[in-house]
Amino acid sequence: MLNPRQLLAIAALIVFAAAPAHAQERRPPESAAQVKLSFAPVVGQVRPAVVNIYATRTERRRSAFLDDPFFRQFFGDGRGLPRERVQRSLGSGAIVGEDGLVVTNNHVIEGMTEVRVALSDKREFEAKILLKDPRTDLAVLRIGDGSERFPTLRFADSDALQVGDLVLAVGNPFGVGQTVTSGIVSAVARTQVGVGDFQSFIQTDAAINPGNSGGALVDLDGRLVGINTAIFSQSGGSVGIGFAIPANMVQVVLSSARSGAKAVTRPWFGASLQAVTPEIAESLGLRHPSGALVANVAPNSPAAKAGIIAGDLVTAVDGRDVDDVEGFTYRFATRPLGGQAAVTLSRDGKARTVQVALSPAPEIPARDVRAVRGYSPFSGATVANLSPALAEELSLVGPSAGVVVMETEDGSPAQQLGFQKGDVVREINDSKVASTADLARTAGQNPRYWKVTIERGGRTFTSVFGG
């Protein structure tokens, strides 16, 4: 006959077995036997879909000796001197499509001319870069010819993650080979990481080291919850603070790659937001700083058409709370194009919900990209007409019209005078600059001096050159 303690144990096992799946997902170990349980089944399921990535770039270079007549008499024309330099990058990736689609970090393959992907079964493939998205630090590759079916990772809803959930990080740290580490979700929606434009990272204490970039962060069901992308470390090694791009953002980039797009198109809100400081919170009667305050609204934008005005406090998107500006940006950017998003806001202390159309920013006016030449402070700069679409692409806050600097050539007057990508040219010699044609016409006048007014990071600067 069973004693009372044995009966209690059997009853507990029956209750545990009969509990619904969602009740079992988050439960601390209840006995020494449970502590001894292994992650091996999950690892065995995940490993075939996590890959190692090797990227290289070969640069041709000329020895500085060859430019000096003194050294040229010893080295001649330089034959025998090394003229090529090979740069290498090491990272990880996750197969997310049976047809060979691989997701990794953009910084792993940025600027590289050859990318190879090694599977856990030791096979290697040359990869084709389908799409790069620097704004999220994600890239999508393709391996194989489309005839082979590859093992893949299923996506989880990263918004459902909770602090304390167990996760596994799989990657190729330091190039030692595929490695698995375990930990918990230390925080969600981290916004002060400084990687990419969409700051809503998953933080974990699972060991992540150089080479893990682009690897998979998975839950205990073997589903992809994030792409490992950065660590906080003063030594270069793991100190238990790693960050991953949420799977819901990864799916946005993957969807664009599947459609054949060369860039990711996201919904345009059409309003500038600012952080809620303790002082602003007190003036609004809030118990603590939270939400995103609307600073201004672009005419005819989705926000304007939904009735949003400056001074509104955005508190949620589709029922999910918004804690700060970065939180709103992430929530809105992960909504699919088409349809509407329910944006909850507070106005005069009263809550209301409006429907905002999920449409892309318009490319009006056309960019009309021009390279500026001749004698002017802008010589060596490439400029374009600014539109809402280009402002979104360049992550500009505020301006959505005018002429923007796209890039400056190394050593050019424009670079030496301090012009930067994203500078919006407002006036030249007290004349407004509305288009690239205006700038080109003014730049060709060759005046005695140049008085230039630009907008950078929400601030206006005026400089005088020549004289």
The partner residues of 33 in beta bridges, in order of sequence, read none
Any catalytic annotation for residue 290? no
> Of the residues 89, 158, 186, 213, which is catalytic?
213
Distance CA 188, CA 162 (A): 7
What's the rounded Cα separation, in Å, for the pair 167 and 205? 9
Cβ atoms of 83 and 60 within 8 Å: the answer is yes
Neighbours of 58 (CB within 10 A): 11
Q: What gap in Å lies between CA 380 and CA 420, rounded to an integer?
A: 12
| Burial status of residue 317 (CB atoms within 10 A of its CB: 0-12, 13-18, 19 or more) | buried
Closest by CA position to 435, among listed 388, 401, 385: 385
Q: Annotate 322-377 with DSSP letters as a single string.
A: --SHHHHHHHHHTSPSSSEEEEEEEETTEEEEEEEE--BPP--S----EE--SSST
Annotated binding site: 107, 137, 211-213
From 89, 92, 133, 137, the catalytic residue: 137
What would the two tokens of residue 403 be? 């002429």
The catalytic position among 89, 107, 324, 423 is 107
213 is an active site residue: yes
Separation between Cα atoms, residue 403 and residue 368, nearest integer Å: 10
Annotated binding site for substrate: 107, 137, 211-213
- Identify which of 448, 435, 381 has the alpha carbon closest to the alpha carbon of residue 403: 435
Is residue 212 within 8 Å of residue 171, measured between CB atoms? yes
22 included as an active-site residue? no
Cite the active site residues. 107, 137, 213
